[in-house]
């Protein structure tokens, strides 16, 4: 409806201008009937539900009537299309199951546009998953894709070899995380080029209980265009700024077209990042402050086996939490703690009742976490999820005694240098444009973000001691500034409204030190935006990965499992 109205508006402007030119030359009459060319029968559409399909057809006629009245007022001549001879071609059909060329041959189509449904894989019904599977047949990794991706693939197949263009409103997940390599790798194989893009903006309507959705709009076609435009949103609820671009890559950046794969190892020589340990315990091995006090009152001998336990929420919001960590607990000592045994038995019962075979197997070692990846040394902790409001994802050093959960990542043996680069504007910009999202929050990833991040000193001259020392000194200043506010949580310190000026100043100095470290690799002294930073990092990524051995990204040997104790015997 809106598309039809806007086309009629454009046509009216052309007719108005033409009429004014003709009037100046002495011609005072105009035959509007012969000049109006846009009509409802030029619109073809598919709608899966019957009633909305009928509504769309009637609505187009209503808009046509309204625009005809506008023409009548504009030129002082009555203009109407009665009786209705032209009919919109709106089919009640499943767009993922229909041959689009049967709806309208691509040679007769000028534009494909729409607002397809956005549904993550876990929210799709069985029939929707089946529909998507038909479209994605043969595509490796397609199981992670959002429902909207089906329309992109079908449109690309429809447009291939023609100059017809397409654009869809979509969830911004299609330009983030692991979606990119899967979807846009196939789009590139089909010969598609992005012509314009609206970066993330917030869309919502006034319906009761309707949550705001973070969207993008991507326009594409088989033929490339010299003039491309990126629409940037300083405020995702505001108006965009149009910025010309030489190339628009799948992350909606004016940079080379690259796809960041899920890597098992970093592209640079830095310590590996691993996910923390997953309890799979039904909550029986975990406890908050109140649970801990009550438990120790009953079982004081268990104190030596209770360790601090941190997930993303606990780390950022300074929430005390503990766990029973019984990896090295001797069987005789374990049996002497009946309250601990009760919890271990509860873990076993929970695992045995699980419908997942892998969880049932874990019942043979109920005193241990389901997955154990606890660093043996002190480590750097990175939360897997962080608010999109923060300029910097809060990260920090942790003692090896603190058990790290599967909701955070750990970098063992990390130094001040690693902390400094990872908490800098450069790394955070890269994270914002490449990570996935949980709702609107950033979802950090070791395989997509950390392992693909181009570190300074790996594409050009080696990093000098001067630059390394500058980063380390600035990183220490950040930690010192945090220490001034020991009673404040990281959530308090990194909230844009409450961040202490002293902390912000140290971060800005750290940003400058990290930026300077990239100068030998072609970086700038100052960047106007995150997009500029990421454009540079993509170029650096291409240079670094061009020298990578083919072994990078392959599976690495899994560590040997820890010895399992027969707790039934105990």
The arithmetic mean of pLDDT across residues 307-317, rounded, is 96
pLDDT at 291 over 70: yes
Summarize pLDDT for 513-561 with one digit per residue, the tens: 999 999 988 889 889 889 999 999 999 999 999 877 654 444 434 433 3
Q: Which range among 302-311, 350-359, 369-378, 539-548 shows the weakest confidence by mean pLDDT? A: 539-548
* pLDDT recorded at residue 567: 36
Secondary structure (DSSP) of 131-174: HHHHHTTT-TTGGG--TTHHHHHHHHHHHTTS--EEEEEEEGGG
Question: How far apart (Å, rounded) are the C-alpha atoms in residues 426 and 532?
Answer: 10
| Alpha-carbon separation of residue 451 from 182, 357, 413, 454 (angstroms) | 18, 31, 16, 9
| Alpha-carbon separation of residue 414 from 377, 406, 409, 410, 490 (angstroms) | 10, 19, 12, 9, 20
The arithmetic mean of pLDDT across residues 103-109, rounded, is 94
Question: How far apart (Å, rounded) are the C-alpha atoms in residues 144 and 153?
Answer: 14
Handedness of CA 133, 136, 140, 143 (dihedral sign): negative
Residue 221 backbone phi and psi in degrees, to 5? -170, 175
Confidence of residue 72 (pLDDT cuts 50, 70, 90): confident
With H, G, I as helix, E, B as strand and everything else as coil, classify residue 466: helix
Query: Is the Cβ–Cβ distance between 199 and 174 less than 8 Å?
Result: no
Question: How far apart (Å, rounded) are the C-alpha atoms in residues 165 and 159?
Answer: 7
Strand (E) positions, 393-527?
A: 396-398, 403-404, 408-412, 436-438, 441-443
Summarize pLDDT for 336-351 with one digit per residue, the tens: 999 999 999 999 999 9
pLDDT at 84 over 90: no
* pLDDT recorded at residue 548: 74
| Alpha-carbon separation of residue 249 from 91, 111, 161, 255, 313 (angstroms) | 34, 21, 21, 6, 33
* pLDDT recorded at residue 27: 54
* pLDDT recorded at residue 110: 94
Domain boundaries along the sequence of the chain: 1-91, 94-259, 261-276+378-561, 278-372
* pLDDT recorded at residue 13: 92
The arithmetic mean of pLDDT across residues 155-165, rounded, is 95
Question: How far apart (Å, rounded) are the C-alpha atoms in residues 327 and 365?
Answer: 10
Residue 485, CB-side half-sphere exposure with 13 Å CA sphere = 18
Strand (E) positions, 301-378?
A: 306-310, 321-324
Confidence of residue 135 (pLDDT cuts 50, 70, 90): very high
The arithmetic mean of pLDDT across residues 273-292, rounded, is 96
Question: How far apart (Å, rounded) are the C-alpha atoms in residues 15 and 34?
Answer: 11
With H, G, I as helix, E, B as strand and everything else as coil, classify residue 411: strand
Which residues fall within 8 angstroms of residue 337, CB to CB, at 6 or more apart? 299, 301, 302
Q: Is the pTM of this model over 0.85?
A: no
Query: Is the Cβ–Cβ distance between 357 and 388 less than 8 Å?
Result: no
Q: Cβ-count burial of 11 within 10 angstroms (0-12 exposed, 13-18 middle, 19+ buried)?
A: middle
| Alpha-carbon separation of residue 357 from 242, 361, 363 (angstroms) | 53, 6, 10
Summarize pLDDT for 32-53 with one digit per residue, the tens: 777 889 999 999 999 999 999 9
């Amino acid at each position: 409806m809106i598309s039809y109205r806007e086309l009629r508006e454009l046509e009216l402007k052309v007719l108005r201008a033409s009429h004014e030119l003709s009037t100046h030359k002495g011609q005072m009459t105009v035959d509007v009937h012969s000049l109006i060319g846009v009509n409802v029968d030029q619109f073809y559409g598919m709608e899966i539900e019957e009633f909305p399909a009928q509504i769309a057809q009637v609505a187009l006629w209503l808009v046509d009537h309204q625009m005809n009245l506008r023409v009548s007022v504009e030129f002082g001549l009555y203009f109407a299309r009665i009786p209705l001879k032209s009919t919109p071609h709106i089919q009640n059909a499943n767009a993922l199951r229909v041959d689009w060329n049967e709806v309208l041959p691509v040679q007769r189509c000028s534009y494909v546009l729409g607002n397809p449904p956005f549904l993550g894989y876990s929210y799709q019904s069985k029939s929707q998953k089946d529909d998507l599977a038909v479209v994605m047949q043969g595509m490796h990794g397609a199981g992670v894709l959002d429902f909207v991706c089906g329309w992109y693939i079908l449109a690309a197949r429809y447009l291939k070899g023609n100059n017809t263009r397409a654009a869809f409103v979509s969830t911004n997940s299609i330009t983030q995380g692991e979606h990119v390599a899967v979807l846009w790798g196939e789009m590139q194989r089909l010969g598609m080029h992005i012509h314009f893009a609206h970066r993330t903006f917030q869309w919502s309507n006034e319906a009761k209980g309707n949550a705001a959705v973070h969207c993008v709009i991507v326009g594409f076609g088989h033929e490339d265009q010299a003039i491309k435009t990126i629409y940037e949103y300083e405020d995702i609820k505001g108006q965009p700024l149009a910025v010309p671009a030489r190339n628009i890559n799948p992350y909606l950046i004016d940079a080379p077209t690259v796809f960041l794969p899920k890597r098992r190892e970093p592209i640079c020589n830095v310590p590996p990042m691993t996910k923390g340990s997953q309890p799979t315990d039904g909550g029986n091995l975990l406890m908050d402050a109140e649970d801990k006090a009550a438990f120790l009152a009953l079982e004081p001998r268990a104190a030596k086996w209770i360790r601090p336990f941190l997930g993303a929420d606990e780390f950022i919001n300074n929430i005390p939490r503990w766990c029973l960590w019984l990896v090295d607990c001797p069987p005789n000592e374990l049996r002497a703690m009946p309250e601990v045994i009760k919890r271990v038995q509860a873990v076993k019962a929970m695992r045995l009742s699980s419908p997942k075979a892998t969880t049932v197997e874990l019942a043979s070692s109920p005193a241990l976490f389901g997955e154990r990846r606890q660093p043996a040394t002190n480590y750097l902790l990175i939360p897997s999820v962080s608010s999109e409001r923060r300029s910097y994802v809060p990260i920090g050093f942790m003692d090896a005694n603190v058990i790290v959960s599967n909701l955070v990542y750990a970098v063992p043996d990390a130094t001040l240098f690693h902390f400094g680069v990872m908490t800098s504007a450069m790394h955070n910009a890269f994270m914002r444009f490449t990570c996935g999202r949980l709702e609107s929050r950033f979802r950090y990833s070791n395989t997509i973000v950390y392992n693909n991040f181009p570190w300074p000193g790996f594409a050009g001259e080696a990093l000098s001691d001067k630059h390394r020392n500058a980063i380390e000194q600035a990183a220490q200043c950040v930690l010192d500034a945090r220490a001034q506010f020991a009673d404040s949580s990281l959530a308090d310190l990194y909230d844009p409204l409450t961040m202490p000026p002293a902390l912000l100043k140290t971060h800005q100095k750290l940003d400058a030190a990290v930026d300077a470290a990239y100068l030998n690799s072609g970086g700038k002294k100052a960047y106007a935006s995150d997009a500029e930073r990421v454009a540079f990092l993509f170029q650096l990524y291409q240079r670094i990965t061009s020298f990578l051995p083919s072994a990078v990204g392959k599976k690495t040997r899994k560590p040997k499992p820890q010895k399992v104790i027969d707790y039934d015997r105990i």
